[in-house]
Amino acid sequence: MVKYELFYFHMAARAEPIRAILDYANVNWTNRAPKEWPAEKDSTPFGQLPVFTETYDQGGQLVLTESQAIERYLARKFGLYGFHPVTDVRIDIVTSQWETVMNFYYGSLFVKSQEEFFKGVFLAQAKILFVKHGEQLAKQGNGYYVGDKITWADLVGYVFLAQIKEGPYYDEELKTLAEPLEKYLVATLEKDPNFQRYQTLSKARLAQ
C-alpha cells in the first residue's frame, strides 16, 4: 500500500486543486499543516509548500514539490489527465492560464507592498480568462473544458473560481463575466457525486 500526504498551510489556496484531485479519485490521504513554519521551511525540498509525499510499504518515498507538477502527476495517476498528447496539452493550457491569474491574485493578497500592482494585473488577466474560458466552455457545451469527461482542468477551474468568488474583488463585472463558467463548469461539477464528496470533505477540513 502507498501512503499519501499533502503538507500545506491550513487554507485552500495553491493546494486545493491537489486536494480536489485526491478526493475526486477517492484516495485515502493525509492533510498536514505546519506547526511552526519558519523552523520547518528548511526541511522541505524548495523552502515552500505544498509538498506531496508518497511513502511505500516496502520502504522509500517520493517527495514532490511545485503545485502544478504535483497536480499533473496525480491527474495522470488517477485518470484525470487527457488521453492523447493533444488533449494533455489542452488541459495544460487551461491549468497554466489559471495558475498565472492566481499568482497575481495571491500576490495581491499576500505581498502587501505591491498589493495595487498585483491587483491590477490580476483583474486585467482574470477578465480575459473569464471571457475566453467562457467561450471555450460554451463551444464545448458539455460542461468540460476538454473532451467529454471531467479532467484536472475542470477541477482547477472550479476551485480557483471558488476562491475568487469568496475574495475581495468579485464585483458585478466579474460576476457577469463568470456567467458561462457558472452555467457550464460549475453546474456540471456540482451534479457529480465524486465532486460532491470532495466538496463535503473540503468544507470539513477547512472548518477544523
Ligand X SMILES: N[C@@H](CCC(=O)N[C@@H](CS)C(=O)NCC(=O)O)C(=O)O
73's enclosing H/E stretch is helix 67-77
Nearest to 52 by CA among 37, 35, 30, 36: 30
Using the contact rule CB under 6 A, the part of the chain among 25-33, 45-53, 179-187, 191-199 near ligand X is 45-53
| Cell digits of residue 30 | 493525509
Regarding 50 and contact with ligand X (CB under 6 A), the answer is yes
Shortest distance, position 168 Cβ to ligand X, whole Å:
17
Using the contact rule CB under 6 A, the part of the chain among 16-24, 66-74, 175-183, 186-194 near ligand X is 66-74
Show Cβ contacts of residue 104 under 8 Å, excluding neighbours closer than 6 positions.
118, 119, 121, 122, 125
Residue 89 CA to residue 41 CA, distance in Å, equals 33
> Which of 43, 48, 194, 200 touches ligand X (CB under 6 A)?
48
Nearer to ligand X, 122 or 184 (CB): 122
Regarding 17 and contact with ligand X (CB under 6 A), the answer is no
Question: Interaction with ligand X in 67-96: which residues (CB under 6 A)?
Answer: 67-68
Q: Taking a C-beta distance cutoff of 8 angstroms, is the pair 13, 164 a contact? A: no
Which residues sit at the interface with ligand X, rule CB under 6 A? 13-14, 41, 48-50, 66-68
